[in-house]
Amino acid sequence: MLSYLAELENFFGPFRMFRYITFRGLLAAGTALAIGFVLGPWMIRKLKELSFRQSLRTESEVGRLADLHLKKKDTPTMGGVLIVAGVVISTLLWAKPNVWVLVALAVFVALAVVGFADDYLKVTRRNSKGVSGKRKLFWQALIAVCALTALLLHPESAVKARELWVPFVKEAVMTPAPLWFLFPFFGLVLVGSSNAINLTDGIDGLAIGCTITVALVYAIMAYAAGNVIIADYLFISYVPGTGELSIVCGALVGAGLAFLWYNAHPAEVFMGDTGSLALGGIVAVVAFMVHQPLTLIIVGGIFVMEAVSVIVQVLSVKSRGRRVFRMAPIHHHFELKGWFETKVVMRFWILSLVFAIIGLGTLRLR
Protein backbone atom coordinates (compact mmCIF):
# COMPACT_ATOMS: atom_id res chain seq x y z
CA MET A 1 0.00 0.00 0.00
CA LEU A 2 2.56 2.60 1.12
CA SER A 3 4.94 1.41 -1.59
CA TYR A 4 2.98 3.63 -3.97
CA LEU A 5 4.41 6.68 -2.22
CA ALA A 6 7.30 6.23 -4.65
CA GLU A 7 5.02 7.63 -7.35
CA LEU A 8 5.06 10.97 -5.50
CA GLU A 9 8.82 11.45 -5.69
CA ASN A 10 8.33 14.49 -7.95
CA PHE A 11 6.60 16.21 -5.03
CA PHE A 12 9.01 14.99 -2.36
CA GLY A 13 12.31 13.51 -3.51
CA PRO A 14 12.95 11.11 -0.58
CA PHE A 15 9.76 9.23 -1.52
CA ARG A 16 11.87 7.50 -4.18
CA MET A 17 13.28 5.33 -1.37
CA PHE A 18 10.01 3.42 -1.42
CA ARG A 19 11.01 1.97 -4.79
CA TYR A 20 13.71 -0.10 -3.12
CA ILE A 21 12.79 -3.53 -1.79
CA THR A 22 15.57 -3.44 0.79
CA PHE A 23 14.24 -0.19 2.27
CA ARG A 24 10.66 -1.46 2.38
CA GLY A 25 11.87 -4.77 3.84
CA LEU A 26 13.49 -2.93 6.74
CA LEU A 27 10.32 -0.88 7.23
CA ALA A 28 8.25 -4.08 7.17
CA ALA A 29 10.44 -5.65 9.85
CA GLY A 30 10.28 -2.50 11.97
CA THR A 31 6.52 -2.19 11.58
CA ALA A 32 5.90 -5.82 12.53
CA LEU A 33 8.23 -5.42 15.51
CA ALA A 34 6.35 -2.30 16.65
CA ILE A 35 2.98 -4.02 16.25
CA GLY A 36 4.21 -6.89 18.40
CA PHE A 37 5.46 -4.59 21.16
CA VAL A 38 2.28 -2.52 21.14
CA LEU A 39 -0.24 -5.37 20.98
CA GLY A 40 1.74 -7.99 22.94
CA PRO A 41 0.97 -6.94 26.54
CA TRP A 42 -2.72 -6.37 25.75
CA MET A 43 -3.04 -9.71 23.95
CA ILE A 44 -1.33 -11.67 26.72
CA ARG A 45 -3.59 -10.03 29.29
CA LYS A 46 -6.69 -10.92 27.25
CA LEU A 47 -5.60 -14.53 26.78
CA LYS A 48 -5.17 -14.84 30.54
CA GLU A 49 -8.58 -13.29 31.18
CA LEU A 50 -10.15 -15.80 28.78
CA SER A 51 -8.26 -18.64 30.50
CA PHE A 52 -6.73 -19.72 27.19
CA ARG A 53 -3.99 -21.61 28.98
CA GLN A 54 -1.68 -24.23 27.56
CA SER A 55 -2.91 -27.79 28.10
CA LEU A 56 0.09 -29.89 29.09
CA ARG A 57 0.42 -33.63 28.73
CA THR A 58 0.14 -35.66 31.92
CA GLU A 59 2.81 -37.75 33.65
CA SER A 60 1.19 -40.92 32.28
CA GLU A 61 1.76 -39.55 28.77
CA VAL A 62 5.26 -38.07 29.00
CA GLY A 63 6.70 -39.26 32.31
CA ARG A 64 9.34 -37.05 33.97
CA LEU A 65 8.91 -34.35 31.34
CA ALA A 66 5.58 -33.45 32.94
CA ASP A 67 7.41 -32.44 36.12
CA LEU A 68 10.00 -30.42 34.17
CA HIS A 69 7.23 -28.43 32.44
CA LEU A 70 4.85 -28.18 35.39
CA LYS A 71 5.57 -24.47 35.85
CA LYS A 72 4.24 -23.80 32.34
CA LYS A 73 0.69 -24.92 33.13
CA ASP A 74 -0.69 -21.39 33.57
CA THR A 75 1.01 -19.90 30.52
CA PRO A 76 -1.50 -18.68 27.92
CA THR A 77 -1.42 -20.04 24.38
CA MET A 78 -2.65 -18.86 20.94
CA GLY A 79 0.09 -16.21 20.92
CA GLY A 80 0.55 -17.00 17.25
CA VAL A 81 -2.21 -14.47 16.64
CA LEU A 82 0.36 -11.78 17.45
CA ILE A 83 2.73 -13.09 14.76
CA VAL A 84 -0.06 -13.35 12.19
CA ALA A 85 -1.23 -9.80 12.88
CA GLY A 86 2.29 -8.38 12.61
CA VAL A 87 3.11 -10.17 9.35
CA VAL A 88 -0.19 -9.53 7.58
CA ILE A 89 -0.53 -5.85 8.53
CA SER A 90 3.11 -5.05 7.82
CA THR A 91 3.13 -6.89 4.48
CA LEU A 92 -0.05 -5.16 3.30
CA LEU A 93 1.49 -1.82 4.22
CA TRP A 94 4.88 -2.21 2.54
CA ALA A 95 4.72 -4.87 -0.19
CA LYS A 96 3.46 -4.30 -3.71
CA PRO A 97 0.59 -6.78 -4.01
CA ASN A 98 1.15 -9.46 -6.65
CA VAL A 99 0.24 -13.12 -6.98
CA TRP A 100 3.32 -14.29 -5.06
CA VAL A 101 2.65 -12.08 -2.04
CA LEU A 102 -1.10 -12.73 -1.96
CA VAL A 103 -0.72 -16.52 -2.17
CA ALA A 104 1.90 -16.47 0.59
CA LEU A 105 -0.41 -14.46 2.86
CA ALA A 106 -3.40 -16.66 1.99
CA VAL A 107 -1.52 -19.83 2.97
CA PHE A 108 -0.27 -18.14 6.14
CA VAL A 109 -3.73 -17.03 7.27
CA ALA A 110 -5.45 -20.27 6.25
CA LEU A 111 -3.03 -22.42 8.27
CA ALA A 112 -3.34 -19.99 11.18
CA VAL A 113 -7.10 -20.62 11.14
CA VAL A 114 -6.53 -24.39 11.21
CA GLY A 115 -4.09 -23.96 14.10
CA PHE A 116 -6.47 -21.63 15.93
CA ALA A 117 -9.24 -24.24 15.71
CA ASP A 118 -6.86 -26.82 17.14
CA ASP A 119 -5.78 -24.54 20.00
CA TYR A 120 -9.36 -23.52 20.76
CA LEU A 121 -10.48 -27.12 21.11
CA LYS A 122 -7.54 -27.84 23.42
CA VAL A 123 -8.24 -24.94 25.77
CA THR A 124 -12.00 -25.50 25.86
CA ARG A 125 -11.68 -29.24 26.43
CA ARG A 126 -8.82 -28.73 28.91
CA ASN A 127 -6.67 -31.48 27.40
CA SER A 128 -3.87 -31.79 24.87
CA LYS A 129 -6.08 -33.21 22.10
CA GLY A 130 -7.49 -30.76 19.58
CA VAL A 131 -8.22 -31.30 15.89
CA SER A 132 -7.45 -34.90 14.94
CA GLY A 133 -4.25 -35.54 13.02
CA LYS A 134 -6.10 -36.84 9.96
CA ARG A 135 -8.42 -33.83 9.82
CA LYS A 136 -5.50 -31.44 10.26
CA LEU A 137 -3.63 -33.19 7.46
CA PHE A 138 -6.70 -32.93 5.21
CA TRP A 139 -6.93 -29.15 5.68
CA GLN A 140 -3.20 -28.71 5.13
CA ALA A 141 -3.38 -30.71 1.90
CA LEU A 142 -6.44 -28.76 0.72
CA ILE A 143 -4.68 -25.44 1.36
CA ALA A 144 -1.67 -26.71 -0.63
CA VAL A 145 -3.90 -27.69 -3.56
CA CYS A 146 -5.69 -24.32 -3.55
CA ALA A 147 -2.43 -22.36 -3.34
CA LEU A 148 -0.76 -24.23 -6.20
CA THR A 149 -3.91 -24.01 -8.32
CA ALA A 150 -3.93 -20.24 -7.85
CA LEU A 151 -0.29 -20.04 -8.98
CA LEU A 152 -0.93 -22.23 -12.01
CA LEU A 153 -3.99 -20.26 -13.12
CA HIS A 154 -2.50 -16.79 -12.76
CA PRO A 155 -0.67 -15.59 -15.92
CA GLU A 156 2.11 -13.96 -13.86
CA SER A 157 3.06 -17.24 -12.17
CA ALA A 158 1.70 -20.04 -14.37
CA VAL A 159 4.95 -20.82 -16.19
CA LYS A 160 7.41 -20.28 -13.34
CA ALA A 161 5.33 -22.32 -10.88
CA ARG A 162 5.98 -25.41 -13.00
CA GLU A 163 9.77 -25.22 -12.85
CA LEU A 164 11.68 -27.47 -10.46
CA TRP A 165 15.14 -26.40 -9.32
CA VAL A 166 17.50 -28.25 -7.00
CA PRO A 167 20.60 -27.04 -5.11
CA PHE A 168 23.99 -27.13 -6.83
CA VAL A 169 22.45 -27.33 -10.35
CA LYS A 170 22.58 -24.36 -12.74
CA GLU A 171 19.37 -25.11 -14.63
CA ALA A 172 15.87 -26.32 -13.87
CA VAL A 173 15.70 -30.12 -13.72
CA MET A 174 12.04 -30.08 -14.77
CA THR A 175 10.37 -27.47 -16.96
CA PRO A 176 7.51 -27.80 -17.06
CA ALA A 177 7.09 -30.26 -14.21
CA PRO A 178 4.11 -32.58 -14.77
CA LEU A 179 1.06 -31.84 -12.62
CA TRP A 180 0.95 -35.40 -11.29
CA PHE A 181 4.35 -34.68 -9.72
CA LEU A 182 3.92 -31.01 -8.88
CA PHE A 183 0.86 -31.25 -6.66
CA PRO A 184 2.17 -34.07 -4.40
CA PHE A 185 5.59 -32.42 -4.27
CA PHE A 186 4.26 -29.02 -3.20
CA GLY A 187 1.88 -30.70 -0.75
CA LEU A 188 4.77 -32.62 0.79
CA VAL A 189 6.86 -29.46 1.14
CA LEU A 190 4.04 -27.46 2.73
CA VAL A 191 2.69 -30.19 5.02
CA GLY A 192 6.18 -31.31 6.01
CA SER A 193 7.38 -27.81 6.86
CA SER A 194 4.19 -26.91 8.72
CA ASN A 195 4.28 -30.02 10.89
CA ALA A 196 8.04 -29.87 11.42
CA ILE A 197 7.83 -26.38 12.98
CA ASN A 198 4.84 -27.57 14.97
CA LEU A 199 6.98 -30.38 16.41
CA THR A 200 9.83 -27.96 17.17
CA ASP A 201 7.54 -25.72 19.20
CA GLY A 202 8.02 -27.57 22.48
CA ILE A 203 10.19 -25.32 24.66
CA ASP A 204 10.45 -21.57 25.18
CA GLY A 205 11.85 -19.65 22.24
CA LEU A 206 13.04 -22.65 20.23
CA ALA A 207 10.70 -22.64 17.22
CA ILE A 208 10.46 -18.89 16.76
CA GLY A 209 14.21 -18.36 17.12
CA CYS A 210 14.97 -20.93 14.43
CA THR A 211 12.21 -19.53 12.21
CA ILE A 212 13.81 -16.09 12.33
CA THR A 213 17.08 -17.41 10.86
CA VAL A 214 15.17 -19.27 8.14
CA ALA A 215 13.16 -16.14 7.30
CA LEU A 216 16.35 -14.09 7.01
CA VAL A 217 17.82 -16.58 4.54
CA TYR A 218 14.68 -16.64 2.40
CA ALA A 219 14.49 -12.85 2.44
CA ILE A 220 17.89 -12.89 0.74
CA MET A 221 16.92 -15.70 -1.63
CA ALA A 222 13.67 -13.98 -2.61
CA TYR A 223 15.53 -10.75 -3.32
CA ALA A 224 18.06 -12.63 -5.46
CA ALA A 225 15.36 -14.55 -7.35
CA GLY A 226 13.50 -11.34 -8.14
CA ASN A 227 16.59 -9.49 -9.43
CA VAL A 228 17.58 -10.51 -12.96
CA ILE A 229 21.22 -9.38 -12.57
CA ILE A 230 21.81 -11.26 -9.31
CA ALA A 231 19.91 -14.33 -10.49
CA ASP A 232 21.97 -14.48 -13.70
CA TYR A 233 25.23 -14.05 -11.77
CA LEU A 234 24.38 -16.82 -9.29
CA PHE A 235 22.88 -19.16 -11.94
CA ILE A 236 19.61 -19.36 -10.03
CA SER A 237 16.08 -19.04 -11.34
CA TYR A 238 14.89 -15.51 -12.12
CA VAL A 239 11.24 -15.23 -11.02
CA PRO A 240 9.86 -11.75 -11.75
CA GLY A 241 7.92 -10.29 -8.84
CA THR A 242 9.24 -12.59 -6.13
CA GLY A 243 11.49 -9.84 -4.81
CA GLU A 244 8.39 -8.61 -2.99
CA LEU A 245 8.51 -11.81 -0.92
CA SER A 246 11.52 -10.24 0.79
CA ILE A 247 9.00 -7.86 2.36
CA VAL A 248 6.99 -10.82 3.63
CA CYS A 249 10.12 -12.41 5.10
CA GLY A 250 11.18 -9.08 6.61
CA ALA A 251 7.80 -8.77 8.29
CA LEU A 252 8.18 -12.34 9.52
CA VAL A 253 11.56 -11.49 11.07
CA GLY A 254 10.14 -8.43 12.84
CA ALA A 255 7.05 -10.25 14.09
CA GLY A 256 9.23 -13.16 15.19
CA LEU A 257 11.55 -10.93 17.19
CA ALA A 258 8.59 -9.26 18.89
CA PHE A 259 7.08 -12.64 19.78
CA LEU A 260 10.44 -13.92 21.01
CA TRP A 261 10.49 -11.00 23.45
CA TYR A 262 7.49 -12.56 25.21
CA ASN A 263 8.29 -16.19 24.45
CA ALA A 264 11.87 -16.19 25.79
CA HIS A 265 12.35 -18.37 28.88
CA PRO A 266 10.33 -18.22 31.06
CA ALA A 267 7.66 -17.73 28.41
CA GLU A 268 4.81 -15.30 29.01
CA VAL A 269 2.87 -16.78 26.08
CA PHE A 270 3.07 -19.74 23.71
CA MET A 271 2.39 -19.48 19.98
CA GLY A 272 0.34 -22.67 19.88
CA ASP A 273 -0.61 -24.35 16.62
CA THR A 274 -2.00 -20.97 15.54
CA GLY A 275 1.56 -19.81 15.07
CA SER A 276 3.54 -22.97 14.36
CA LEU A 277 1.39 -24.32 11.53
CA ALA A 278 1.21 -20.88 9.90
CA LEU A 279 4.97 -20.30 10.18
CA GLY A 280 5.78 -23.64 8.59
CA GLY A 281 3.34 -22.94 5.80
CA ILE A 282 4.61 -19.50 4.87
CA VAL A 283 8.24 -20.63 4.93
CA ALA A 284 7.36 -23.55 2.64
CA VAL A 285 5.35 -21.54 0.13
CA VAL A 286 8.02 -18.83 -0.10
CA ALA A 287 10.70 -21.49 -0.62
CA PHE A 288 8.63 -23.08 -3.39
CA MET A 289 7.88 -19.79 -5.15
CA VAL A 290 11.54 -18.70 -5.28
CA HIS A 291 12.52 -22.17 -6.54
CA GLN A 292 14.42 -23.14 -3.41
CA PRO A 293 12.14 -25.82 -1.86
CA LEU A 294 14.83 -28.48 -1.45
CA THR A 295 17.24 -25.94 0.03
CA LEU A 296 14.76 -25.74 2.90
CA ILE A 297 16.05 -29.13 4.03
CA ILE A 298 19.41 -27.47 4.68
CA VAL A 299 18.29 -24.02 5.86
CA GLY A 300 15.66 -25.52 8.13
CA GLY A 301 17.97 -28.24 9.38
CA ILE A 302 16.69 -27.96 12.95
CA PHE A 303 13.12 -28.59 11.82
CA VAL A 304 14.29 -31.58 9.80
CA MET A 305 16.13 -32.97 12.85
CA GLU A 306 13.00 -32.62 14.95
CA ALA A 307 10.74 -34.30 12.40
CA VAL A 308 13.18 -37.10 11.64
CA SER A 309 13.66 -37.83 15.35
CA VAL A 310 9.91 -38.41 15.68
CA ILE A 311 9.78 -40.65 12.60
CA VAL A 312 12.78 -42.70 13.78
CA GLN A 313 11.33 -43.05 17.27
CA VAL A 314 7.95 -44.24 16.01
CA LEU A 315 9.45 -46.70 13.53
CA SER A 316 11.84 -48.08 16.15
CA VAL A 317 9.13 -48.57 18.76
CA LYS A 318 6.79 -50.26 16.28
CA SER A 319 9.42 -52.50 14.67
CA ARG A 320 11.75 -53.29 17.58
CA GLY A 321 9.79 -52.27 20.65
CA ARG A 322 12.69 -50.04 21.69
CA ARG A 323 13.28 -46.30 21.80
CA VAL A 324 16.20 -44.61 20.07
CA PHE A 325 15.72 -41.37 22.06
CA ARG A 326 14.56 -40.87 25.60
CA MET A 327 11.74 -38.84 24.07
CA ALA A 328 10.95 -37.34 20.69
CA PRO A 329 11.07 -34.68 19.31
CA ILE A 330 14.77 -34.60 19.98
CA HIS A 331 14.79 -31.42 22.10
CA HIS A 332 12.94 -33.35 24.81
CA HIS A 333 15.63 -36.04 24.63
CA PHE A 334 18.24 -33.51 25.69
CA GLU A 335 15.97 -32.13 28.41
CA LEU A 336 15.64 -35.61 29.90
CA LYS A 337 19.43 -36.02 29.70
CA GLY A 338 19.69 -33.14 32.13
CA TRP A 339 20.30 -30.14 29.87
CA PHE A 340 18.64 -26.97 31.06
CA GLU A 341 15.91 -25.75 28.73
CA THR A 342 17.85 -22.58 27.95
CA LYS A 343 20.93 -24.61 26.99
CA VAL A 344 18.91 -26.71 24.55
CA VAL A 345 17.46 -23.58 22.97
CA MET A 346 20.78 -21.74 22.67
CA ARG A 347 22.58 -24.72 21.14
CA PHE A 348 19.76 -25.34 18.67
CA TRP A 349 19.83 -21.64 17.72
CA ILE A 350 23.56 -21.95 17.04
CA LEU A 351 22.94 -24.98 14.84
CA SER A 352 20.13 -23.13 13.07
CA LEU A 353 22.51 -20.29 12.24
CA VAL A 354 25.08 -22.77 10.91
CA PHE A 355 22.43 -24.43 8.73
CA ALA A 356 21.36 -20.99 7.48
CA ILE A 357 24.90 -20.08 6.44
CA ILE A 358 25.35 -23.42 4.67
CA GLY A 359 22.02 -22.91 2.91
CA LEU A 360 23.09 -19.49 1.66
CA GLY A 361 26.30 -21.07 0.39
CA THR A 362 24.30 -23.24 -1.99
CA LEU A 363 23.43 -20.11 -3.99
CA ARG A 364 27.03 -19.86 -5.18
CA LEU A 365 27.96 -23.53 -5.39
CA ARG A 366 26.53 -24.40 -8.78
pLDDT at 259: 96
Q: What is the total count of domains within the chain?
A: 1
Considering the domain boundaries, does residue 288 fall inside one? yes
Type of residue found at 233: Y
**Secondary-structure breakdown of the chain: helix, strand, coil percentages, each rounded to the nearest 5:** 70, 0, 30
d(CA 196, CA 190): 10
Sign of CA dihedral 199, 73, 271, 351: negative
Answer yes or no: is pLDDT of 352 > 90: yes
Cα(186)–Cα(197) distance, integer angstroms: 17
Indicate whether 360 belongs to any domain.
no
In Å, what is the CA distance from 167 to each residue of 102, 182, 239, 285?
Answer: 26, 18, 16, 17
Amino acid at 139: W
Record the pTM. 0.93
Is 340 inside a domain boundary?
A: no
- Please check whether residue 226 is in contact with residue 246, taking contact to mean a CB–CB distance below 8 angstroms: yes
Work out the average pLDDT over 108-129: 86
Could you tell me which residues come within 8 angstroms of residue 163 by beta carbon, excluding any fewer than 6 positions away? 172, 174, 175, 176, 177, 237, 291
Structural domain contains residue 75 = yes
pLDDT tens figures, 262-306: 999 888 999 989 999 999 999 999 999 999 999 999 999 999 999
From 49-53, 209-213, 221-225, 268-272, the region with the lowest mean pLDDT: 49-53
Whether residue 300 lies inside any domain: the answer is: no
pLDDT of 60 > 70? The answer is no
- pLDDT recorded at residue 54: 67
The pLDDT assigned to 355 comes to: 96
User: Considering just the CA atoms, what is the radius of gyration of the chain in Å?
Assistant: 20
Domain that holds residue 289: 21-294
Q: Does 311 reside within a domain? A: no
pLDDT tens per residue across span 300-336 = 999 999 999 999 999 988 888 888 888 889 988 888 8
Helices (H), 226-271: 228-234, 245-263
DSSP state letter for 326: S
The pLDDT score that the predictor gives to residue 333 is 87
pLDDT at 70 over 80: no
Report the length, in residues, of the chain. 366
Number of H helices, E strands in the chain: 15, 0
pLDDT at 327: 84
Q: Is residue 275 classed as helix, strand or coil in its secondary structure? A: helix
Residue 45 lies in a domain: yes
Asked which of 14-23, 165-174, 230-239, 346-355 is least confident by mean pLDDT, the reply is 14-23
Task: Tell me whether residue 120 is in a domain.
Answer: yes
